[in-house]
Amino acid sequence: MSLIEMHVFSEALNKSTCVNVILPLPRRAELPPEGLPVLTLLHGMGDDYTMWLRRTGVERYALERGIAVVMPDGGLSCYHNMVHGGRYRDYILDELPGLLRGMLPLSARREDNLIAGCSMGGFGALKLGLSRPEQYAAIGCFSAAHMEYRPDHPRNKAMLSRVYGETLDACDAQIERDIQAVNAGSRSMRVWHACGDQDVLRENALKSRDFFEALPPGAIDYSFETLPGKHDWALWDRMLEEFMLLLPAAEGRFM
Report pLDDT digits (tens) over 119-139. Answer: 999 999 999 999 999 999 999
Q: What is the pLDDT of residues 71-121, one digit of tens each?
A: 999 999 999 999 999 999 999 999 999 999 999 999 999 999 999 999 999
Average confidence (pLDDT) over 147-157: 75
CB 111 within 8 A of CB 135: no
Which pLDDT value is given to residue 116?
98
CA angle 228/138/14 to nearest 5° reads: 100
Report whether pLDDT(38) > 70. yes
Average confidence (pLDDT) over 169-191: 93
Work out the burial of residue 58: count CB atoms within 10 Å of its CB; fewer than 13 is exposed, 13-18 middle, 19 or more buried.
buried
Question: What residues have CB less than 8 Å from 20, skipping those under 6 apart?
Answer: 3, 4, 5, 6, 49, 50, 52, 53, 70, 71
Nearest to 196 by CA among 164, 231, 168, 172: 231
Nearest to 75 by CA among 144, 139, 150, 159: 159
Which pLDDT value is given to residue 29?
65
Residue type, 246: L
Which pLDDT value is given to residue 24?
93
